[in-house]
Amino acid sequence: MIDEGFAAECLGPVEEAVRRTAAAEIMPRFRALTADQVAEKNGPYDLVTVADRGAEAHLTAALTALLPGSVVVGEEAVAAEPGLYAALAGDRPVWIVDPIDGTRTFVRGDEGFCTLVALAHHGELLASWTYAPVHDRMATALRGGGARLDGVALRAGSPADGAPLRIAASYPFHTMPGAKRTLLRLRTEGVRARPCAGSAGLEYVEVARGALDATVFAWENAWDHAAGLLLVAEAGGAHATLAGTPFRLAGGNALPFTTARDAPTVARIRDLLLGDHPAG
């Protein structure tokens, strides 16, 4: 295992690296992309830009220099070489990177995107960074050391008794068998569900600060979820897959899974989801 003090020591240096990356590779291209700087990976809803690739390369160099012997599992590197994802189940420390979480949002010129970095070892999340460069907002989490947004401690709290639950459900979830029935049941059970915004990372920030009660995601790419899962956990929140087990970074999770401000809310949403999406 990485020395227990390393994750705390690297909070500042990684934050600096993320900020430098955004300044050098992302923000100069925001609302300035040309058509030849945007490409499809797996269809029109899965885009990559020169900013994604440049930012991931920049972060890869900085993070591996900070922790020699570590490996980076980044969205763009895995797209080019899928076998890299297996490092999440290996023995080396892993930096999990999404250079631009919300690439379609970025391409549209909208502000709701962020950069996500998490540090993990042996499947355990140790630290995370979520940076929204347009608004210069940085959320960090340290295992056992709490969660912060712009230096201020985050506490997710719990939904108010009797108040409708506010959840964000991912678009892929809407296409799963029984999803329409599930959404109707959620509404009848006092749950207000809206589609997720373009960035999963920013939805996790909303849960961690108590502005959103829960999320439901139907995909498991670690770069979308690792940073946010630790952020919410360190803010006092909880999560579970449909099987009731913790989310596994290496994959093979029962989907959809939910993350919420507290454990009772996770259990409540999971019970509602099990009606149409039995685990297993």
Q: Where are the domains of the chain?
A: 6-153, 165-274
Q: What angle do CA 243, 235, 254 make, to 5 degrees?
A: 15
Read off φ and ψ for residue 151, nearest 5 degrees: 85, -5
Neighbouring CB atoms inside 10 A of 61's CB total 13
pLDDT at 197: 84
Q: Name the pLDDT band for 34 (thresholds 50, 70, 90).
A: very high
For position 46, what pLDDT does the model report?
Answer: 83
The CB density around residue 19, as the number of other CB atoms within 10 Å, is 16
Residue keyed to tokens 């947004």: 149
pTM: predicted TM-score of the whole model, two decimal places: 0.93
| Burial track 140-152 (b if 16+ CB lie within 10 A, e otherwise) | bbbbeeebbbeee
pLDDT at 265: 96
Average pLDDT of 54-79? 97
Mean pLDDT of the chain: 92
**Residue 51, pLDDT above cutoff 90:** yes
For position 184, what pLDDT does the model report?
64
Residue pLDDT, tens place only, 83-134 = 999 999 999 999 999 999 999 999 999 999 999 999 999 999 999 999 999 9
- Tell me which CATH code domain 165-274 carries: 3.40.190.80
Residue 172 has pLDDT above 60, yes or no: no
- Nearest CA among 262, 246, 265 for reference residue 254: 246
- 225-248 CB burial, b ≥16 within 10 A, e <16: bbbbbbbbbbbbbbbbbbeeeebe
Would you tell me how many other CB atoms lie within 10 Å of the CB of residue 165? 21
For domain 6-153, give the CATH superfamily: Fructose-1,6-Bisphosphatase, subunit A, domain 1 (3.30.540.10)
